[in-house]
Amino acid sequence: MTRSWHSLAKVSDFNSAKSKYVDLGNKEIALFFVEGKFHATDNFCPHRGGPLFRGNIEPGPNIRCPLHGWNFDMKSGQSLNMPQATITTYPVEIRGEEVFVHI
């Protein structure tokens, strides 16, 4: 499947929030803004489908699923407490006021 850049949010969306999710119909993408940097991952935890955008952002930066605590590195997608588990991460670019994600 060919990947392409998609504008998924405005930078200003993150003035008051550190995360949000975007429903693309066939998948949901979680966006995080941590210490001045944007990160994009799949929104659903591979364990029981917990919405990662509602998880706890922890130093790393890592995202901990709010349902049962599976914890993922936002950059690599590798789980820190479930060695076999990963989530897909996506490149992010800021173009003006828009947050573009390569999906």
Partner 1 sequence: MQNINKIKNLINSEYAYLMAEHDNWSLVSGSKNMEIVAHALRVILHAGDVKHHEAEWLAVVDCQNEEGAWGGESDNPKSAPWASAFLALMLIRANAILKNKKITASIEKSIDFFIKDQKADGRWIDPAWADLDTTSHPVSFFNVVLAIGEPKWKKKVLKSWRAGLKFITDNQNPDGSWVDKDFHPTGVETTAHLVQDSVIASLCFPDRKEVAPNQDELKKVCAKGMEKLISFQAENGSYDNDNMDHTMDSMRSLVIISRVLREEKKCTPVIEKALDWILEYKCAQGWPDFPGMKVNLERTCDGLDVLLKYMVWREKDWKQAVRRWGYVTGIPSFKGLRRPKTKQLSRAKV
Residues that bind partner 1 (CB under 8 A): 47-51, 54, 56, 64, 66-71, 81-82
Kindly tell me which of 68 and 102 has the beta carbon lying closer to partner 1. Answer: 68
Minimum Å gap between C-beta 28 and partner 1 is: 9
DSSP letter assigned to residue 26:
S
Minimum Å gap between C-beta 25 and partner 1 is: 12
Using CB atoms within 10 Å of the CB of residue 59, give its burial: 0 to 12 exposed, 13 to 18 middle, 19+ buried. exposed
Instruction: Report d(CA 75, CA 91) in Å as an integer.
Output: 9
Cβ(34)–Cβ(18) below 8 Å: yes
Kindly tell me which of 55 and 100 has the beta carbon lying closer to partner 1. Answer: 55
Kindly tell me which of 71 and 89 has the beta carbon lying closer to partner 1. Answer: 71
Minimum Å gap between C-beta 54 and partner 1 is: 5
Give the strand pairing for 98-102 and 5-10. antiparallel
Minimum Å gap between C-beta 89 and partner 1 is: 21
